Amino acid sequence: MDPAAERKMQFLFSLRSHGVTNKRVLTAMEKVDRGKYIRGTFEDRAYEDTPLPIACGQTISQPSIVALMTEALDVQPRSKVLEIGTGSGYQAAILSQLARRVYTVDRHSRLVKAARQVFEAEDISNIIAFTADGSRGLPEQAPFDRILLTAASEDPPGPLLAQLRIGGIMVLPVGQSDAVQTLVKVTKTEEGLDYQELRAVRFVPLLEGLGKENT
What are the catalytic residues? 61
The residue among 58 and 181 lying less far from ligand SAH, judged by its C-beta, is 58
Q: Counting contacts by CB under 6 A, is residue 97 touching ligand SAH?
A: no
**Which window, 102-110, 122-130, 167-175, 192-200, contacts ligand SAH (CB under 6 A)?**
102-110
DSSP string, 110-169: HHHHHHHHHHHHTT--SEEEEES-GGG--GGG--EEEEEE-SBBSS--HHHHHTEEEEEE
**Position 59 contacts ligand SAH (CB under 6 A):** yes
User: Would strands 144-149 and 192-201 be described as parallel, antiparallel, or unpaired?
Assistant: unpaired
Does residue 90 touch ligand SAH according to CB under 6 A? yes
Task: Find the part of the chain contacting ligand SAH (CB under 6 A) among 15-23, 25-33, 67-75, 83-91.
Answer: 83-91
Residues 159-188 that bind ligand SAH (CB under 6 A): none
Told to check if 111 binds ligand SAH by CB under 6 A, we report yes
Q: Is residue 107 part of the contact set for ligand SAH (CB under 6 A)? A: yes
**Among residues 102 and 206, whose Cβ is nearest to ligand SAH?**
206
63 preceded by cis ω (within 30°)?
no
Strand 144-149: give its sheet, edge to edge.
Answer: 127-131, 101-106, 80-84, 144-149, 164-174, 181-189, 192-201
Asked if 67 interacts with ligand SAH (CB under 6 A), we say no
SS3 per-residue string spanning 30-76 = HHCCHHHHCCHHHHHHCCCCCCEECHHHCEECCHHHHHHHHHHHCCC
Is there binding between residue 124 and ligand SAH (CB under 6 A)? no
Q: Does 150 bind ligand SAH (CB under 6 A)?
A: yes
143, 168 contact by CB (below 8 A): yes
Which one of 64, 79, 97, 135 is in contact with ligand SAH (CB under 6 A)? Answer: 135
Residues in contact with ligand SAH by the rule CB under 6 A: 58-61, 84-85, 87-88, 90-91, 105-108, 111, 133-135, 150-151, 204, 206-208
